Amino acid sequence: MSETKGRIALVTGASRGIGRALALELAGRGWRVVCVARAQKALERLDDDIRARGGEATLVPLDLRDVGAIDQLGGALYERFGKLDGLAGCAGVLVALTPAHQATPSLMDEIMAVNFTANQRLIRALHPLLRASDAGRAVFLSSSVARKPRAYWAPYAASKAALDAFVTSYAGELNVTPIKANLFNPGATRTAMRAKAYPGEDPMTLPAPEEVAPAIADMLAPSYSENGVLVQFERR
Ligand SMILES: NC(=O)c1ccc[n+]([C@@H]2O[C@H](COP(=O)([O-])OP(=O)(O)OC[C@H]3O[C@@H](n4cnc5c(N)ncnc54)[C@H](OP(=O)(O)O)[C@@H]3O)[C@@H](O)[C@H]2O)c1
């Protein structure tokens, strides 16, 4: 905790699922958490939960498809904090499973905008803030289908493959900086997204987001020294 007390992390997808659990985990470790998602009420509930644990949150209700708002967020965070110590790209959408040849333009637009372009724009807007930290750490949530695509998962798999390629390339440019950028594959986790993809599955057989979040929080710590790796969650 002493290692991370007072550090500032931005978590996307903080309104529910893995992003929410990560925001709580980080707050419990002493981080100030900038929480990004669209659902304002859910963010306010998260704020209450973080405060109840003695933590501090900054809420940013934002649609990540609005790339101009991402650029503005970079400026606002610079004005307020002057640096960013952790960036966790947890927001993601499945939209729908579909045969590749039936993927509609609107489905492709949304899935690429949230899963790929938003993270690219976050890197662009927030790299200078991560650079201003003594140990900027960035983690982006991947998926097993990024590297092993499956039938009916084409849009989601393509968006995550693009994210993996972008983040791995970015990591390769960081050796002259203290920043580390990595990918994390949570595997099957008990969230709304998983239930949408596998409606017949018993969610109680899966790890809860609270089980997964500590492994991501570890990757944001200043002592985390890997760069350009994909970490697979393993249940303990
Ligand atoms: N759950 C799994 O089994 C699993 C497996 C492999 C990888 N993953 C990855 O893990 C990450 C977290 O997934 P999850 O299962 O926790 O999903 P989830 O419960 O569905 O949560 C998704 C989050 O993304 C946010 N989001 C979606 N569209 C957004 C938009 N346009 N603007 C801003 N925020 C948006 C949602 O917030 P709002 O709706 O409030 O905006 C929500 O907080 C995702 O990247 C997912 O691809 C999950």
Q: Considering only CA atoms, give the Rg of the chain.
A: 17
Reported as a single tens digit per residue, the pLDDT across 164-181 is 999 999 999 999 999 999
Please give the pLDDT value at position 157: 98
CA dihedral 194, 86, 230, 160 (to 10 degrees): 50
Q: Is the CB of 195 under 6 A from ligand 1?
A: no
Reported as a single tens digit per residue, the pLDDT across 68-91 is 999 999 999 999 999 999 999 999
Reported as a single tens digit per residue, the pLDDT across 100-114 is 999 999 999 999 999
156 flagged as catalytic: yes
With a pLDDT cut of 70, the percent of the chain lying above it is 99
**Is 37 among the domain residues?**
yes
Angle between helices 17-28 and 209-220 (to 10 degrees): 60
Please give the pLDDT value at position 179: 98
Q: What are phi and psi of 88, to 5 degrees?
A: -120, 110
Contact in structure between 163 and 146 (CB atoms under 8 Å): yes
Whether residue 225 has pLDDT greater than 70:
yes
Q: Where are the alpha helices (DSSP H) in the chain?
A: 17-28, 40-52, 67-81, 105-112, 118-132, 154-172, 192-197, 209-220
CATH number at residue 53: 3.40.50.720
**Is 159 among the domain residues?**
yes
Whether residue 67 has pLDDT greater than 70:
yes
Please give the pLDDT value at position 1: 57
**Is 110 among the domain residues?**
no
**Is 1 among the domain residues?**
no
Place of tokens 């807007």: 125
**Is 113 among the domain residues?**
no
Q: Is the CB of 189 under 6 A from ligand 1?
A: yes
Please give the pLDDT value at position 2: 64
Angle between helices 105-112 and 154-172 (to 10 degrees): 30
**Is 121 among the domain residues?**
no
**Is 118 among the domain residues?**
no
Please give the pLDDT value at position 235: 87
Reported as a single tens digit per residue, the pLDDT across 107-157 is 999 999 999 999 999 999 999 999 999 999 999 999 999 999 999 999 999
Q: How far apart are alpha carbons 142 and 166 in whole angstroms?
A: 12
Mean pLDDT of the chain: 97
Contact in structure between 68 and 94 (CB atoms under 8 Å): no
Whether residue 199 has pLDDT greater than 80:
yes
pTM: 0.98
CA of 54 to the centre of ligand 1 (A): 26
Question: How many independent structural domains does the chain possess?
Answer: 1
Structural domain containing residue 166: 8-105+130-232
Contact in structure between 118 and 64 (CB atoms under 8 Å): yes
Q: How far apart are alpha carbons 66 and 79 in whole angstroms?
A: 20
Tell the residue nearest (CA) to atom 23 of ligand 1.
Answer: 13
CA of 13 to the centre of ligand 1 (A): 5
Whether residue 93 has pLDDT greater than 70:
yes
Q: Is the CB of 188 under 6 A from ligand 1?
A: yes
